[in-house]
Amino acid sequence: MAKFFTINPFKHAESKLFNRKVLIHLAFWFIFLSPALLDLRWPLSQGEAALALNIIVIAPPFFYWITEWVMPRLMRAGDRQYIYWVIAISGCFIWSWLHMQTESWIGRSFFQEMPSQPEYLEYFIGMFWFMSVAMGVSFMQYWYKNQLKEKEMRNLQIKAELNLLRHRINPHFLFNTLNSIYAFALEKSDKTPEIILRLAGLMRYMLKSDEAWVPLSEELSYIDDYITLERIRLDEEVSIKMNIEGEAEGLYIAPMLLLPFVENSFKHGINTSSLSRYVEIVVHIDDDSIYMYVENSKPSNPTSKEKRNSEGFGLPSVKRRLDLLYGPSKYHLEIEDMSDKYRVNLYLKLQRKIEHAMPSSR
């Protein structure tokens, strides 16, 4: 009968981690004990071998007692930390006495002439220094684990916030598009099927909004579909210009990052009382950078409703996404709110490959 063997990847990863820890600990003890062992005369006599063995037997148990038992409890004790400080120092006294007694016994048992032996205070000072090293190592481990935990928490918070920001954008866009379809359906317009087809393409792309990164070409195609829908809806009433320069191949961007700038230009620039309504969009791609320029008309004497609707232009969420995903060093956003027009300039440093890990806060 054939036998089937399955490999548990988690068990394999744990085994590799365990082997790595063992190697790190062996390297630590080799470095730490080398000065004391090299101080002995080689080749070792029977008595000197016993002294070396005493160092090896005494040091590690005390070290791991401090790092694995005393320090975890000390750092969780709060106001009762003094209890574990007393325990640690008491342990230092006891281990110093054990070290002195075993060396004394080795001297009497293996050496014809009893070698000079340090005073108990010297043993205690040496062991106290050793305890300080153990505590320092333990603090470093505790700090490192906390850093990893904080980084993981930051990534989770960023991921949750990004999802929230995306959801704020998507329903608004869908609402506007469905309104357009409804208006054309009422008019029984021949353009209704094309609008629905374009919307289907947009919906397919929106399903990708949960991905960390998408090709820049898809994001630009998405914007082109959106503008096509607006051209159909507005017909010849509004001047709409869009120009894309440069090569987008091989570049990646966060999904639905550029659309809000375009969407806001239509929402606040077209749906106004201004006589000369227009939207102008320029996208320039240079190596691994993109420059986006969006300008739209604005009513010269806005009504109270237009003033209320234009406040903020709905872009704080996009700016927050830029901060989280790229950081100040990789983008620059300029927003100019003038009396008769509104202008956005975005400079963004893109990437040439997909990064699966979420960015850390900068």
- The verdict on 111 and 46 lying in the same domain is yes
- What is d(CA 186, CA 192) in angstroms, rounded to the nearest whole number? 10
- What is d(CA 220, CA 210) in angstroms, rounded to the nearest whole number? 17
* Residues 6+ positions from 168 with CB-CB distance below 8 Å: 317
Quick one: how far is CA 244 from the chain centroid? 32
**pLDDT score of 134:** 84
- The verdict on 210 and 339 lying in the same domain is yes
Q: What proportions of the chain, in percent to the nearest 5, are helix, strand and coil?
A: 65, 15, 20
Q: Is residue 59 part of a domain?
A: yes
- What is d(CA 82, CA 85) in angstroms, rounded to the nearest whole number? 5
One DSSP character per residue, 153-222 reads HHHHHHHHHHHHHHHHHHHHHHHHHHHHHHHHHHHT-TTHHHHHHHHHHHHHHHGGGGSS-EEHHHHHHH
- The verdict on 62 and 171 lying in the same domain is no
* Residues 6+ positions from 236 with CB-CB distance below 8 Å: none
Q: Is residue 15 part of a domain?
A: no
Helix (H, G, I), strand (E, B) or coil at 306: helix
- Which DSSP letter does residue 40 get? S
- The verdict on 29 and 112 lying in the same domain is yes
Quick one: how far is CA 111 from the chain centroid? 61
pTM for this prediction: 0.53
Helix (H, G, I), strand (E, B) or coil at 61: helix
* Residues 6+ positions from 229 with CB-CB distance below 8 Å: 177, 180, 195, 198, 199, 202
Quick one: how far is CA 34 from the chain centroid? 40
- The verdict on 198 and 65 lying in the same domain is no
The enclosing domain of 312 has a CATH number of: 3.30.565.10
- Domain residues for 61? 25-117
- The verdict on 99 and 163 lying in the same domain is no
Q: Is residue 184 part of a domain?
A: yes
- What is d(CA 301, CA 190) in angstroms, rounded to the nearest whole number? 36
**pLDDT score of 113:** 59
Domain C-terminal end among 60, 94, 117: 117
- The verdict on 323 and 190 lying in the same domain is yes
Amino acid at 155: N
Q: Is residue 72 part of a domain?
A: yes
Domain C-terminal end among 64, 91, 117: 117
- The verdict on 104 and 168 lying in the same domain is no
- What is d(CA 277, CA 299) in angstroms, rounded to the nearest whole number? 9
**pLDDT score of 300:** 64
Q: Is residue 1 part of a domain?
A: no
- Which DSSP letter does residue 361 get? P
Q: What is the pLDDT along the chain (362 residues), one digit of tens a residue?
A: 444 444 444 444 455 555 677 777 777 777 776 766 666 666 666 666 776 777 777 778 888 888 888 888 888 777 788 888 888 888 888 888 888 888 778 777 777 655 677 778 887 887 888 888 888 888 888 888 888 877 776 766 666 666 655 555 556 567 767 877 787 788 887 878 888 887 787 777 776 656 778 899 988 988 888 888 778 777 667 788 899 999 888 899 988 888 888 888 887 766 555 567 889 999 999 888 999 999 988 876 655 555 544 444 457 778 887 887 888 888 999 998 888 888 999 999 988 765 544 444 44
- The verdict on 161 and 254 lying in the same domain is yes
Amino acid at 55: I
- The verdict on 197 and 310 lying in the same domain is yes
Q: Is residue 336 part of a domain?
A: yes
Number of domains comprising the chain: 2
- What is d(CA 28, CA 212) in angstroms, rounded to the nearest whole number? 40
- What is d(CA 53, CA 80) in angstroms, rounded to the nearest whole number? 37
- The verdict on 91 and 229 lying in the same domain is no
- The verdict on 102 and 157 lying in the same domain is no
Domain C-terminal end among 95, 117, 139: 117
Locus of tokens 């075993």: 102
